[in-house]
Structure 1
Amino acid sequence: RKMRVGWFHQHQIEAMDPTDTPLEIIRRAMPDSTESSRRSKLAQFGLGYEKQETTVDSLSGGERARLLLNMVAMDAPHVLILDEPTNHLDIDSRRALLDALNQYNGAVILITHDRSLMELVADRLWLAADGTVKPYDGDMDDYAKFVLDRAKQASVRPTQVKDETAVASGGGGNKNKKNNKKSGPSPSTLRHAVKKAEERMAALTAEIARIDDDLANAAVNNPKALEGLTRARGKTQADLDTAEQAWVSAEEALAEVS
């Protein structure tokens, strides 16, 4: 009954009052504190004096996220529930969050698509699938294979098999079968497309891993390189998403003609 729970979700940032200011927000959270204590707290959040009376509408997404995350953690909750906490954060803020989570003494439930954050922070994985949430014994590589296998299975839709059977068993004999035969790429062409997409996905996944390593090193040795590496990672991730979609499309097309 005495357990304190801190809750941050990604849509809180969009729900903030655009006319509010960080100083007004901290005043409500610290009604009995002095003005200097409130300003000092905001400075600890990474919001300097010039930002403390700036409207929320004028703050960057990263500044708003930092403010909200620190507000959630301010009361030292025993459990933190964080939904996509790295959305809107720049690379420096992401690293600060990573360090803070690893140093945190309480429990953290983290919902995220950020693979590097999961690998560097989480000590237990849970799989949300098919309306359930269960402990997951594998690592992130196992999970990536699990997702690809599910996509491959989903590409063979039972409704297609049923529809094709109904057409084939209808009236009209060989004439209807000939007319109903779909034109398009041959199975061998589609199998080649699937293989090329898989190779492309593997290459892009390896490239993202390499960029993540470079990002970790640049944060320590060459901060000026961070911006270029961050852009490169975003582009590579977008290319990977495109490759995954091409793979799924090729698998679906192959299932239709097989």
Structure 2
Amino acid sequence: MLQKLPPVSSVVAEHVAPFILPSPERPLAPPLLRLEGVSAGYDETPILKHLNLRLDLDDRIGLLGVNGAGKSTFAKLVAGALKPQSGEFTRSARLKVGWFHQHQIEALNPKDTPLDIIRTVMPEASEASRRARLAQYGLGHQKVETTVDSLSGGERARLLLNLVALEAPHLLILDEPTNHLDIDSRRALLDALNEYEGAVILITHDRSLMELVADRLWLASDGTIAPFDGDMDDYAKFVIDRAKQAGKAPTQVRAAEPVEVPKPPPPPKTKVPTGTARRRAESAEAALARATAAVTELDKALTDPKVFSEDPAKAAELGRKREQAQVALEKAEQEWLDAVEAYEAVKVDA
């Protein structure tokens, strides 16, 4: 009877190349960085003030804040691409920093190949060594001589993420590292970060990555960066509370007309469409409530022991629906947080 059974096709799992983030060989004496009363900005205009922070080798920092709050400015400062305007900034002379950000992807020459790019990073290595390293990054022989404009966004991001860590830096600064990565690649990046033994500053809207990597949170807000006492749920509440407060602020009150007119009136300021952003935030909050209620209802059904004993098929179906509902909940939660952050940013510009 076994011989008469039809052959079963084997399932071939698609291999996802790991990220290679080598840990620093020689740890530095703490702290890696110390900022005391530091200000930083551009053209003598400070973006961040009163920075009093310390970073050690084992720190995993999640940097929170709405767009425009100064997160990228802080990344440039820490990476050494921006000098402080004032204050005391202590930084080890032997500190090696690996810095990944989206502008690196945009700045790639579209006619370069991965082999051209790695030649500049590994000028003294043999061609075979370069090709072998690219293969470790998940770029096989059919990709190494493909031009950048023919690579996917995920392939470009994977290449650059591995290259910024090539020299085993003491500190990795990752600014939105998962924007172009699929689910399996995000998991591979998480595994690599958990094995990496240096310090990490993570800037991301990927809540799950933030929760699984960061052990401390810093918040960029009100022109400074300071430790945030709370978790991602507390941050979500902070953002929505700030948005609600901004919505109540009397931003449209007109000043009294002066008796004399010393100067011609300034050109009218473009009105910021806060209503659209507010409605989007409210809609996202309602969707989040519905998704939460759906998960709660399924959890309640799955706690009934009769479901499993009397109708196993129904129990299995409920389990599948619970998984789908959880995915929908996580998506709704992220959309809600993005909408509220966008609303707060619009209110700041109003």
User: Fold conserved (TM > 0.5)?
Assistant: yes
Work out the CA distance in 1 between the residues paired with 2:149 and 2:218: 36
Separation (CA, whole Å) in 2 of partners of 1:108 and 1:42: 24
CA contact (8 A) 1:207 1:236 kept: no
Cα distance between partner residues in 2 of 1:234 and 1:242: 12
Deviations 1:55-95 (A, max 9, x none): 00100000000000000011000111111111111111111
CA 1:79/1:93 → structure 2, altered by over 3 Å: closer, same or farther?
Answer: same
TM-score, normalised via structure 2 length: 0.51
Q: Distance in 1 between matches of 2:211 and 2:334?
A: 22
Could you tell me which of 126, 129, 149 is aligned with 1:37?
129
CA separation of 1:235/1:103 partners in 2, compared to 1, >3 Å: closer, same or farther?
closer
Is 1:148 matched up with 2:240? yes
Determine if contact 2:112/2:148 at 8 Å carries over to the other structure: yes
Structure ranking higher in helix proportion: 1
Query: Contact (CA 8 Å) 2:98, 2:164: kept in 1 or not?
Result: yes
**Deviation per residue, 1:154-180 (Å, 9 max, x gap):** 0012233x34x97xxxxxxxxxxxxxx
How far did 1:203 drift? 3.4
The alpha carbon displacement at 1:31 in A equals 1.4
Q: Is the 8 A contact 1:204 1:239 kept in 2?
A: no
Which has more strand, going by share of residues? 2
Pair 199,128 (structure 1): closer, same or farther in 2 beyond 3 Å = same
1:205–1:150: structure 2 CA closer, same or farther, 3 Å change rule? farther
Could you state the TM-score of these two structures normalised by the residue count of structure 1?
0.68
How many pairs does the alignment contain?
A: 199
SS across alignment from 2:251: helix
Within the alignment, does 1:106 sit opposite 2:198 as a pair?
yes
Whole-Å separation in 1 of the counterparts to 2:166 and 2:152: 21
What CA distance in whole angstroms lies between the structure 2 residues aligned with 1:238 and 1:142? 13
Q: Are 1:203 and 2:295 an aligned pair?
A: no
Match of 1:182 in 2: none
* Cα offset, 1:126, TM superposition: 0.5
Q: 1:31 to 1:233 in 2, by over 3 A?
A: farther
Letter in 2 for 1:32: E
Asked whether the equivalents of residues 284 and 336 of structure 2 are also in contact (C-alpha less than 8 Å), the reply is: no
Change (3 A) 1:237 1:200: closer
- The 5-angstrom pairing of residues 1-258 of structure 1 reads 1-160=93-252, 162-163=253-254, 198-204=285-291, 236-237=331-332, 240-241=335-336, 244=339
For the Cα contact (< 8 Å) 2:284–2:332, is it kept in 1?
no
SS at match of 1:32: coil
Secondary structure of 1:11's aligned partner: helix
**Structure 2, unaligned runs of 5 or more:** 1-92, 257-280, 296-323
CA contact (8 A) 2:288 2:333 kept: no
CA offsets 1:203-234 (integer angstroms, 9 cap, x no match) = 346889xxxxxxxxxxxxxxxxxxxx8xx769
- Distance in 1, Cα, partners of 2:102 & 2:294: 28
Larger RCO (CA within 8 A; separation ≥ 6): 2
Structure 1, gaps ≥5 residues long: 167-193, 209-228, 253-258
Residue identity (%): 67
